[in-house]
Amino acid sequence: MSTAEERAAPGSNEIALDGVAVELDGRRILEDVTVRLAQHRIAVIGANGSGKSTFARVLDGLVRPTRGTVRVHGLDVARELSRVRAEVGFVFTNPDAQILMPTVAEDVRLSLRGSGLARAEVDARVDAVLRQHGLGDHADAPAYSLSGGQKQLLALASVLVREPRLVIADEPTTLLDLGNARRIGRMLIDDLDAQLVLLTHDLELAERCDVALRFHEGRLVEVGQPADVVRAYRREYA
């Protein structure tokens, strides 16, 4: 057994990428990323098209790397995809793409499909998570009738009801107004028990994480203290 595998035993908090590259139609989207992360809250910043989203999708197996290996909490993403998916929750920028069922409660229930939980337990969990996210009164409302902020809260509820150990959020506050952005930001940064990978253009939010990664033109150019990484990023556009 290699040392890398020993360090990333199942149950650990480590995200480990080794020489990960992604090419699409001959274009390089992500180049040779090697990094080990075990911090609780991980911020990912960088310009549009810098490779942030691809990096996030590689962690969840939504994008398959052309080269290299990805391990999440000791699981090989290429080989143990279903276990990785059970462990990882993904919040997209646009909640419309993520909400899949006609009504609010049904969408949360979809996440527990095939979980083997008894019906009463499913009901209790759905009810609890909706109330936690301020959607208790909207359980039977059509999902499309919610406001943008409520939709993102629902998307988050549908992810968290599965009790993931890692939550990846791809610019979850970009489409929201200030109040809703703050609320979602607080929930992710302050209230989340799971490990967090947060892609964001909100640099204040990034600064509140434990470590920050900066991508530039498909390359991971910096890993370090969020304040330093954000300062370097700001300087680039000064």
Partner 1 sequence: MIALYLPGRSILHRAPAGVKLLALLALALLISLWPHTGVTIALAGLVVVALYAFALLPPVVLLRQLWLAKWIVVLMVVTQLVFLTPWDALVNTVRVVSIVLLAALLTLTTRSEELLAALETGMRPLARLGADPRRIGLTLSLAISMLPVVAGIAERVRDAQRARGVRLGFRIVVPVLVLALRHADDVADALSARGAD
The site that binds partner 1 (CB under 8 A) totals a number of residues, namely 33
**Interface with partner 1 (CB under 8 A), residue from 106, 127, 210, 222:** 106
Q: Does position 140 bind partner 1 by CB under 8 A?
A: yes
DSSP 172-236: TTTTS-HHHHHHHHHHHHTS--SEEEEE-S-HHHHHTSSEEEEEETTEEEEEE-HHHHHHHHHHH
92 makes contact with partner 1 (CB under 8 A)? yes
Q: Does 103 bind partner 1 (CB under 8 A)?
A: yes
Interaction of residue 130 with partner 1, rule CB under 8 A: no
Residue from 50, 111, 150, 173 binding partner 1 (CB under 8 A):
111
In the complex, the smallest distance separating the C-beta of residue 26 from partner 1, rounded to whole angstroms, is: 20
DSSP string, 37-101: E--SEEEEEE-TTSSHHHHHHHHTTSS--SEEEEEETTEETTT-HHHHHHHEEEE-S-HHHH--S
Nearer to partner 1, 2 or 82 (CB): 82
Rounded Cα–Cα distance for residues 18 and 111 (Å): 31
Structure tokens at 41: 């809250």
Among 10, 19, 49, 102, binds partner 1 (CB under 8 A): 102
- Give yes or no for residue 138 binding partner 1 (CB under 8 A): no
152 binds partner 1 (CB under 8 A): no
| Cα angle: 138, vertex 93, 141; to 5 degrees | 15
Distance, CA of 39 to CA of 33 (rounded, Å): 18
* CB closer to partner 1, 84 vs 220: 84
Figure out which of the listed residues 13, 39, 69, 94 binds partner 1, where binding follows CB under 8 A: 94
The residues that touch partner 1, with contacts defined as CB under 8 A, are 57, 60-62, 82, 85-86, 88-90, 92, 94, 96-103, 106, 109-111, 113-114, 140, 142-144, 158-159, 162
